[in-house]
Amino acid sequence: MAKRRENYETARMIIDRLEEKGPATQTQLIDELGIPKNTMNNNVRGILLKKLGIVEKLDNHKYGLRWHLPEEDEVKLHYHRKKQKLRRNPTPEEMAGLIKEDPDDARRLLFKYIPSYREPDQNEISSAASEVRDMIVWGGLYGKFKTKKDWFEMGVSKVVIDGIDQETFNQIANGESSELEEPKRYLKDFPEMGPKITSKKERGRISYKVEWTDDAKNVLHSSYFWRKRFEVQLPIRLDQNLYRRYKEFMDRNGDYALARISEMAEKCAPSQEAINDLLSWMVSPENGHQALAALKYFCENGLEIGQLDDETQTKIANSLLDAFFFCDISDDQIYDPALEIIELLDVRDSKVAAKSNDLILSSLRRGSDDIRCRKLGQWLARDPRLRKALVRSVEDIMHDSEDDRVQKLCESFIDRIK
C-alpha cells in the first residue's frame, strides 16, 4: 500500500511538472523534482507511458503529456508512429484525424515540421501494404495452426479456414520465413494490427476463423484477402479390413481388386502392408499400371500428412528403379508413372543415387539414347552436388570414347541437365 501511494505521488508530481512547463527529458525531471533515477524510470516508462498511456516519448528524448503537446511535437510524434505502423510516409489524409486538422492543414504542418517529408505514391502505398501484411501474417498467424499430421492424428478429415487465402496458409504452413523477430516486434508495438483466431471442432471437421482488426483492414484495403475462405481435405485412415477384403480378390480378379484399392488410395493414408503389396503387384504385366496408380495416391497422401517415413520412401524408390529401369521394358506407360513416384519422393540417398548413376552411364557408354536415362538424369541433377559429379563422369566417357555417336549423346545429355 505504501509503495502504491509513493508511486501515485511521484506520478502526480511528474504530471504536474509536464502540464506546467511542457515536455522534459528524464534527466530534467530528476534534477527539477529530486526523484531517484530508478523511481523516475519506473514511473515515466512503466506507469505513465506503457501502463496508462498518459505521456508520449518525443523525438528529442523528451516526454510530454499526450493531451498537452506543442504543435511541432504532436505532429512529429504522430508522424513517426504512423510511419512505423504503415512502413511508409503517411498521407496528409491519414494524419488529419490524428492531429485534428483538415487534410490541407495536415499537409502544411507535415512539410513545416518534417523537412524530408514527401507524399507517398500509389506504388509505395501498395508495396508498404504488402510489408505490413507479412508482418501480420508472420507475427500473428505463424504457428497458430496445427500441422496436417496433427490434424490427421486428431481424426480430422476436413479443415475450413475463414479469413485468409490458401496461398497465405501454404506460406505459413511451409514455414517460408526465416525471420520472425521483426514481425513479433511489430505486433508488440502495434497490437491493434494483430488478428484473432478462433477454432471449433465437430466430428471429423475443424473450422478456423481469422478475424482482422479494422486498423489492419484499413491498411490492407486493396487486397481484401480476409474475405477469403478455403478448405483442406485431408486423407483418412485406411480401413484395413476392407483393404484385405479386396486384397483377397487379387488371385481371381486382379483388375477389380486393384480398381477398388485405387479408389481407397485416392483418399486414404497408406499402411505398410498396402505399400508392400503394391510393390509386389506392380511388377506383374497385368497389374503394373493400376498398382502404380494406387501406389502414387498412397505416396501423395502419406507425404502430405507425414505418414511415410524415410526408410519406406527409400525402399519404394529402390524398388521402382529395380523394376522399371534396370530392365528391357519399353512401355512408356510403365516407367513414366514410376519416374513420377521417384520424383515425388525425391529420395537421393547414396544407394538410389549410385543406382541411377550406373544406369545413366552404362546407357551412354553403349551409345543408347534411352529416354528413361535422360529423364532420370534430369531428376538426379536437381541436386547440385550430384549434378556436378554426374557431369564429370559423363565428360570422362566423352574423353575415353572414340565413337562419335557416344560423344554427341554425352554432349546432349550434359546440355539437358545443366
In this structure, what CATH number is given to the domain that contains residue 62?
1.10.10.10
Please state which of the ranges 52-61, 72-81, 284-293 shows the lowest mean pLDDT: 52-61
Task: Give yes or no: residues 165 and 246 share one domain.
Answer: no
Task: Give yes or no: residues 207 and 248 share one domain.
Answer: no
The predicted pLDDT at position 226 comes to 81
Task: Give yes or no: residues 7 and 50 share one domain.
Answer: yes
Using CA atoms in the order 361, 366, 371, 375, what is the torsion angle rounded to 10 degrees? 10
Out of 274, 297, 327, pick the residue that ends a domain. 327
Query: Which sign, positive or negative, has the C-alpha torsion 77, 82, 84, 90?
Result: negative
Q: How far apart are CA 125 and CA 89, in angstroms?
A: 9
Task: Give yes or no: residues 184 and 260 share one domain.
Answer: no
- Please say if the pLDDT value at position 384 is more than 60: yes
Q: Is residue 29 part of a domain?
A: yes
Q: How far apart are CA 349 and CA 361, in angstroms?
A: 18
- Please say if the pLDDT value at position 282 is more than 50: yes
Q: How far apart are CA 60 and CA 73, in angstroms?
A: 9
Q: Is residue 161 part of a domain?
A: yes
Residues 6+ apart with CB under 8 A from 176: none
The predicted pLDDT at position 27 comes to 86
DSSP string of 287-352, one letter each residue: THHHHHHHHHHHHHHHHHTT-S-HHHHHHHHHHHHHHHTSS----HHHHHHHHHHHHHHT---HHH
Q: Is residue 201 part of a domain?
A: yes
Tell how far CA 209 is from the center of its chain: 19
Q: Is residue 383 part of a domain?
A: yes
The range of the structural domain enclosing residue 63 comes to 1-69
Q: What is the pTM of this model?
A: 0.70
Position 1 confidence tier, pLDDT thresholds 50, 70, 90 = very low
Q: Is residue 99 part of a domain?
A: no
Task: Give yes or no: residues 288 and 357 share one domain.
Answer: no
Let me know: does 359 contact 328? Beta carbons within 8 Å. no
- Classified as helix, coil or strand, 224 is coil
Task: Give yes or no: residues 224 and 244 share one domain.
Answer: no
- Please say if the pLDDT value at position 175 is more than 80: no
Let me know: does 109 contact 101? Beta carbons within 8 Å. yes
Q: Is residue 103 part of a domain?
A: no
* Nearest of 314, 395, 392 to residue 350 by alpha carbon: 314
Q: Is residue 277 part of a domain?
A: yes
The predicted pLDDT at position 137 comes to 92
- Please say if the pLDDT value at position 4 is more than 60: no
Please state whether 317 falls in left (phi above 0), alpha (psi between -120 and 50) or beta. Answer: alpha
Q: How far apart are CA 403 and CA 397, in angstroms?
A: 10
- What's the farthest any 2 CA atoms get from each other in the chain? 99
Out of 267, 297, 327, pick the residue that ends a domain. 327
Out of 297, 327, 357, pick the residue that ends a domain. 327
Percent of the chain with pLDDT over 90: 51
| Strand order from edge to edge, sheet including 205-211 | 196-202, 205-211, 158-162, 229-233
Please state which of the ranges 35-39, 61-65, 274-278, 354-358 shows the lowest mean pLDDT: 61-65
- Total number of domains constituting the chain: 4
Task: Give yes or no: residues 129 and 215 share one domain.
Answer: yes
